[in-house]
Amino acid sequence: MQPVLIAGQWRAADASDTFQATNPNTREALPPRFPVSSWQDCDAALQAAAEAFEQLRSVPREKIAKFLRDYADNLESAKDALVESAFAESGLAKSPRLADVELPRTVNQLRLAADAVESGDWTCPVIDTQAGIRSCYESLGPVCVFGPNNFPFAFNSVSGGDFAAAIAAGNPVIAKANTSHPETTRLLAEQAFAAVQSAGLPAATIQLLYRTSHDDGERLVSDPRCGATGYTGSRRAGLALKAAADRAGKPIYLELSSVNPVVITPGALRERGGEIIDEFLTSVLMGAGQFCTNPGLVVLLKGGESDAFVEAVAKRFNEAPAGTLLSPAVAKGLSSSIQTLTDAGAERLAGDGSSASDRCAVSNTLLRCSGEQFLRDPETFQTEAFGNASLVVVADDLQQATAVLDSLEGNLTGCLYTATDGSDESDYQQLAFALAPRVGRLLNDKMPTGVAVSPAMNHGGPYPATGHPGFTAVGIPTSIARFAKLTSYDNVRPARLPCWLADKNPTGKTWRSIDGRWTQADVGE
Amino acid sequence: MQPVLIAGQWRAADASDTFQATNPNTREALPPRFPVSSWQDCDAALQAAAEAFEQLRSVPREKIAKFLRDYADNLESAKDALVESAFAESGLAKSPRLADVELPRTVNQLRLAADAVESGDWTCPVIDTQAGIRSCYESLGPVCVFGPNNFPFAFNSVSGGDFAAAIAAGNPVIAKANTSHPETTRLLAEQAFAAVQSAGLPAATIQLLYRTSHDDGERLVSDPRCGATGYTGSRRAGLALKAAADRAGKPIYLELSSVNPVVITPGALRERGGEIIDEFLTSVLMGAGQFCTNPGLVVLLKGGESDAFVEAVAKRFNEAPAGTLLSPAVAKGLSSSIQTLTDAGAERLAGDGSSASDRCAVSNTLLRCSGEQFLRDPETFQTEAFGNASLVVVADDLQQATAVLDSLEGNLTGCLYTATDGSDESDYQQLAFALAPRVGRLLNDKMPTGVAVSPAMNHGGPYPATGHPGFTAVGIPTSIARFAKLTSYDNVRPARLPCWLADKNPTGKTWRSIDGRWTQADVGE
């Protein structure tokens, strides 16, 4: 049985049960056995994390940056083994996906986080010389990270965006592996722990559990020693954790389900329907559609252009091989969601609903309903079908399309394709007015998959896409603020201020707001 | 019966009951009767607010700024009537408190909010020209504001900090009056509504209810039409609202109880004990101690200096007249909290526990316990005694004092008084290390009352002082972000961007982060 990493030791878990991952390309269980940890393991991890947190508060930022860089280097060195493992556990393509896209992205995030640690821009220093008050963000406490199944590297609880942000803010991380790729997570944690040692961080800066009971998960995120939680995954599990954390007054950041509406006007289809079909197919079938920002809902206006779009997409769906899904649970969930949608009256245009027996796969599925159908039961028609499926809503007219958008709950993204000649500009204005308040990111003429690691990115959005409309899970330094605490220093003697708030700019290049002006200068300069 | 303000009409409430405020200086009911609104009123207000929100999204920012400035002017014109009413309902001194401190502060906050609306700095624009992504904060939706009893103007639900922040972000406000000063709130709302009209804002931008059942309050903050809530008041009521809002995924910002620990070292007392006693007395007895940041817990180290401090303070407490408390409920709550503390073993050094019969008042109360006592039951000894009372904890030594700080829950503020010659600097470091993570604002050599309206202010802090450690309720533009939504614009055509994200700086002076540099320039300049 594989060991957990607690308090700097790879040690046998106090296990209540065991589990194995499944190879989605064979539906066979993978050999390594992993423990389901008892509360005793959770408690030990929390205690060690609380102590590591106190130590980290005095650790020079250079060491944290070195950890992030060493870890990034280690991941590049261990690339082959990581890719093999992630492929076996997720079925995602070794190349380009795992080796050439996701691992480089992961490494890049860690290095950007290291830059942020060094520049200190994430601390957002504000200095009011007249009032004698200075504020900045500071570390918050141990962060529990629950990673999703669909990014074994880039959102992994021990290497992904939440992890990098929590560490950059100076917090220890208790990683809860996604149970669909525990071995990959263990391999990542080995590299992380080696970097903890080479950088000289407290040994419990990184800890790893593979699985707990639901009850213990809820105790973990609401424990007094927990500072905050980052969770990416299913809505049901996420909302149960949110309820527990909320009751205890603990911040929790969630990235839950999203259908990512894409509206395409007849004008856009007339002008460049072929291109848009290609873009849509790439976006919706890539990685078997298993992206948080997968375009699961397409809104069209009744007419010949839309009919042609639907017909062409259905044909291509039927022709394209069905990608391998991440796990038996994902395949089952996808079939079940499709069933929910067809039960509600959606018409099946592509995909016979068949599941492969020798691997995890469901035929590419295109569904259609009318705007009227959608508006009669918007909740059901917004069921997320996670995977290679999409629902097309054909509205009678612009008013009905707008009503469909008005009926949407919070989403991560919303896209609008319109004519480039501006002939449907007033339609755009009406549709965008309805869509923008319901999404974290509004796109024009572009599919939603592909989440750039940019300070201007919002990988977030209104509830229930996330738990708070003001935070992003992707983007550095912006995502770091989630795991930080705002502290004002009022009349605090100069020598006692955190370096970010001293008169002298600690790096010579940290951006600080001094008396209402953003500057890299010293105070009084 | 006084009318409610719903959908631009001062109209009779759909009332389930009525109530009157009490003059705390006479314990007599004040004449005006106010309605307890039914859900029908709440529903009507929510509906009108949702419609006003959609309208506000297209209103030029100049009109919102004009509203805030017109309202500030109106308040100055109506000063005499407002001060009379607030005095009758709160017992707070007409001068300097109400007329010369609190009203000017309120007017100043509104004008600062107007400046923020015009400059747009609160939208925090981030532009990544390479990735083609731009983000900013935008309005969120109707905001419910529940104001506290202790600031009839500056934190009033229809004129205070939460109100100004919510409006500045472009949201309509549904104000729930504090039931101890409904007439003052009605008078303020009259001025606000006049400004809504003179500025040409949607009529339902400001609405006012006086009271609802607890159930209806919980429905209000969790209604789909509600964008967010700001609440300042008691912990019990606040946490009930938080639970309801959390379940619905609605942001709620709370400012709850806080004992605001003040640590004074023997070195500081030796050096300037007299001064510190004066500062403490002013802070703890001013306004009968009814401030969120009232120093309710003083931590001293055993010894002659501390004995002298306690003796002098007790004498002055006994000599000073007991201030009038805000309401019979506050007087009752204060007596009850003092009883809880003495039941737990705190020794009464000043104050015989007597309540006045002809007005709301409790004798100035100084309590003492040992560090050991405190550590045996830190939860009970942290009971907030809201009003003119304070608990002194005398620790055996530095280690025990540090343990007392380590046992504290989240507070708004924490103060450290040490010797100016640096002789107890290492003690400071140890105490501040324990105190800083538990408070929103750390002060040196200064009492916590007096919350400057500064962009560097954090009037916030870890739970349960507030609901989230990353936000401040005071300070402009910083407090505005609470009532905003982050939106990324990805590949959005230039002419369609919000003005804050256009290439051209919309004001010529808005601070924006362009490709990692904060600047007031245009993109590409």
Q: Kindly report, residue by residue over B185-204, the tens digit of the pLDDT.
A: 999 999 999 999 999 999 99
* Cα B350 from Cα B172, distance rounded (Å): 47
pLDDT tens for each residue of A331-363: 999 999 999 999 999 999 999 888 888 999 999
Interchain contact, A488 vs B440, CB within 8 Å: yes
B148-173 average pLDDT score: 98
Q: Enumerate the residues of chain A whose CB falls inside 8 A of the CB of residue B481.
A: 470
DSSP string, A379-394: HHHT----SSEEEEEE
**Do residues B254 and B238 lie in contact, with contact meaning Cβ atoms separated by under 8 Å?**
yes
**CB-based burial, A395-422: b 16+ in 10 Å, e otherwise:** beeeebbbbbbebbbbbbbbbbbbbeee
Interchain contact, B490 vs A432, CB within 8 Å: no
Q: Fold for domain B261-444? A: Aldehyde Dehydrogenase; Chain A, domain 2 (3.40.309)
Domain limits, CATH 3.40.309.10, in chain B: 261-444
**pLDDT band for position B323 (cuts 50, 70, 90):** very high
Tokens (6 digits) for A118: 């060094």
Annotated catalytic, A42? no
What local confidence, expressed as pLDDT, does residue B205 receive?
98
Interchain contact, B126 vs A456, CB within 8 Å: yes
pLDDT tens for each residue of B397-423: 999 999 999 999 999 999 999 999 999
Nearest to B370 by CA among B344, B392, B339: B392
- Tokens 């039960």 belong to A343
Nearest to A21 by CA among A214, A179, A212, A186: A179
What local confidence, expressed as pLDDT, does residue A357 receive?
86
* Cα A519 from Cα B155, distance rounded (Å): 32
Q: Enumerate the residues of chain A whose CB falls inside 8 A of the CB of residue B486.
A: 440, 458, 460, 469-472
pLDDT tens for each residue of A432-491: 999 999 999 999 999 999 899 999 999 999 999 999 999 999 999 999 999 999 999 999
- Tokens 């290439």 belong to B503
Give percent of chain A with pLDDT exceeding 90: 98
Distance from CA of A259 to the nearest CA of B (A): 17
What residue of B is the nearest CA neighbor of A419? B493
**Do residues A114 and A169 lie in contact, with contact meaning Cβ atoms separated by under 8 Å?**
no
Interchain contact, B128 vs A456, CB within 8 Å: yes
Q: What is the DSSP letter of B43?
A: H
Of the candidates B140, B437, B492, which has its C-beta nearest A469's C-beta?
A: B140
Taking the CA atoms of residue A489, residue A494, residue A498 and residue A500 in that order, the dihedral angle to the nearest 10 degrees is 100
Candidates A229, A485, A497, A510, partner chain B, best to mutate (most B CBs within 10 A): A485
Q: Is the pLDDT assigned to residue A525 strictly greater than 90?
A: no
Of the candidates A135, A250, A460, which has its C-beta nearest B458's C-beta?
A: A135
Of the candidates A445, A455, A486, which has its C-beta nearest B128's C-beta?
A: A455
What local confidence, expressed as pLDDT, does residue B525 receive?
86
> What are the CA-CA distances from residue A343 to residues A347, A381, A395 (Å)?
9, 10, 20
B119-126 average pLDDT score: 97
Of the candidates A127, A462, A478, which has its C-beta nearest B456's C-beta?
A: A127
What's this model's pTM, rounded to 2 decimal places? 0.97
A233-259 average pLDDT score: 96
Of the candidates B133, B452, B454, which has its C-beta nearest A456's C-beta?
A: B133
What residue of A is the nearest CA neighbor of B136? A456
**pLDDT band for position B257 (cuts 50, 70, 90):** confident
**Do residues B89 and B23 lie in contact, with contact meaning Cβ atoms separated by under 8 Å?**
yes
What local confidence, expressed as pLDDT, does residue B473 receive?
96
* Cα B64 from Cα B59, distance rounded (Å): 8
Distance from CA of B509 to the nearest CA of A (A): 10
* Cα A519 from Cα A525, distance rounded (Å): 10
Nearest to A168 by CA among A238, A45, A72: A72
pLDDT tens for each residue of B328-365: 999 999 999 999 999 999 999 999 888 888 999 999 99
What local confidence, expressed as pLDDT, does residue A342 receive?
98
What residue of B is the nearest CA neighbor of A251? B468
Interchain contact, A433 vs B467, CB within 8 Å: no
CATH class of the B34-121+140-256+472-480 domain in this structure: alpha beta
The rounded mean pLDDT for chain B is 97
What local confidence, expressed as pLDDT, does residue B357 receive?
86
**Active-site choice (A89, A183, A255, A279):** A255
* Cα A73 from Cα A110, distance rounded (Å): 10
Residues 6+ apart with CB under 8 A from A509: A119, A520
What local confidence, expressed as pLDDT, does residue B356 receive?
84
Q: Enumerate the residues of chain A whose CB falls inside 8 A of the CB of residue B143.
A: none
Sheet holding A297-301, edge to edge: A347-350, A365-370, A389-395, A297-301, A261-264, A411-417, A439-444, B484-490, B133-139, B126-128, B512-514, B517-519
Least confident of A336-340, B73-77, B450-454: B450-454
**Active-site choice (A226, A292, A360, A369):** A292
Q: Enumerate the residues of chain B whose CB falls inside 8 A of the CB of residue A265.
A: none
What residue of B is the nearest CA neighbor of A512? B518
**pLDDT band for position B472 (cuts 50, 70, 90):** very high
* Residue B515: CB atoms within 10 Å: 14
Of the candidates B247, B433, B486, which has its C-beta nearest A470's C-beta?
A: B486
Backbone phi, psi, residue B463, to 5°: -55, 140
Domain limits, CATH 3.40.605.10, in chain B: 34-121+140-256+472-480
pLDDT tens for each residue of A21-30: 999 999 999 9
Q: Which amino acid is at A97?
A: R
Please give the ipTM for the structure prediction: 0.97
DSSP string, A332-344: HHHHHHHHHHHHT
Candidates B105, B431, B485, B501, partner chain A, best to mutate (most A CBs within 10 A): B485
Distance from CA of A136 to the nearest CA of B (A): 8
**DSSP SS3 for A376:** helix
* Cα B335 from Cα B313, distance rounded (Å): 20
What residue of A is the nearest CA neighbor of B138? A437
pLDDT tens for each residue of A389-409: 999 999 999 999 999 999 999
Residues 6+ apart with CB under 8 A from B54: none
What residue of A is the nearest CA neighbor of B419? A493
What local confidence, expressed as pLDDT, does residue A257 receive?
87
Distance from CA of B65 to the nearest CA of A (A): 19
Q: Is the pLDDT assigned to residue A292 strictly greater than 90?
A: yes
DSSP string, B301-318: ESSHHHHHHHHHHHHHHH
Beta-carbon contacts below 8 Å between A and B? 192
What residue of A is the nearest CA neighbor of B119? A516
Distance from CA of B325 to the nearest CA of A (A): 29
Interchain contact, A247 vs B243, CB within 8 Å: yes
* Residue B450: CB atoms within 10 Å: 14
Nearest to B489 by CA among A476, A203, A452: A452
What local confidence, expressed as pLDDT, does residue B352 receive?
84
Q: Enumerate the residues of chain A whose CB falls inside 8 A of the CB of residue B243.
A: 246-247
What local confidence, expressed as pLDDT, does residue A354 receive?
84
- Active-site residues of B, by number, are 255, 292
Annotated catalytic, A292? yes
Interchain contact, B452 vs A131, CB within 8 Å: yes
What local confidence, expressed as pLDDT, does residue A76 receive?
98
